[in-house]
């Protein structure tokens, strides 16, 4: 199925031991990406499965445009991607390009009919993107839900609301 959809390389596990090796490689991917430049900005963008190829191609274009390494791990079965921007935090220009690439990845996810978060929540980096995805009514609804469950404002104070 992956090859029929245009995958350039498919590596199925032959047995349980090989399956474990592939899982271990996946678990090591973030450590490997951190070694590229020392700092990473991890994204969590989910798109419809039918747009996964478009997402990967778009991230590749964004990486080329900003002259950065952006690795992508994904849960292909549900369209959840983890683009990981690698950059040198001590380099102001590279840090700026990293942030711009992060924002372009967010915009791409929304353009492809996806969401800015597939499983890890909005977080500080994506705070401004919440309003772009949900609109003012959606944000107000989120604010009221937070108020209902946290009337004292003690849960993750100042992070989102």
Q: How many CA atoms lie within 13 A of 1 on its CB side?
A: 4
Outline where 42-156 has alpha helix (H).
52-66, 92-111, 127-149
The residue that leads in pLDDT, 43 or 116, is: 116
Predicted TM-score (pTM) of this structure: 0.85
Task: Write out the two tokens for 5.
Answer: 């959809």
> pLDDT (tens digit, 9 = 90+) per residue, 33-65?
999 999 999 889 999 999 999 999 999 999 999
Structural domains of the chain ordered from first start: 16-121 (3.30.70.2740), 123-156 (no CATH)
Task: Write out the two tokens for 61.
Answer: 């274009």
């Amino acid at each position: 199925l992956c090859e029929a959809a245009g995958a350039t390389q498919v590596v199925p596990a032959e047995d349980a031991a090989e399956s474990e090796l592939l899982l271990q490689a996946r678990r090591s991917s973030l450590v490997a990406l951190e070694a590229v430049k020392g700092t990473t900005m991890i994204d969590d963008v989910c798109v419809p499965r039918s747009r996964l190829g478009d997402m990967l191609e778009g991230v590749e274009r964004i990486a080329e445009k900003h002259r950065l390494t952006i690795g992508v791990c994904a849960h292909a079965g549900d369209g959840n991607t983890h683009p990981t921007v690698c950059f040198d935090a001590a380099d102001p220009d590279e840090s700026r390009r990293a942030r711009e690439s992060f924002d372009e990845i967010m915009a791409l996810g929304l353009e492809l009919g996806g969401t800015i978060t597939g499983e890890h929540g909005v977080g500080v980096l994506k705070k401004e993107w919440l309003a772009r995805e949900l609109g003012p009514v959606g944000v107000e609804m989120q604010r009221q839900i937070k108020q209902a469950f946290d009337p004292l404002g003690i849960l993750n104070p100042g992070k989102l609301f």
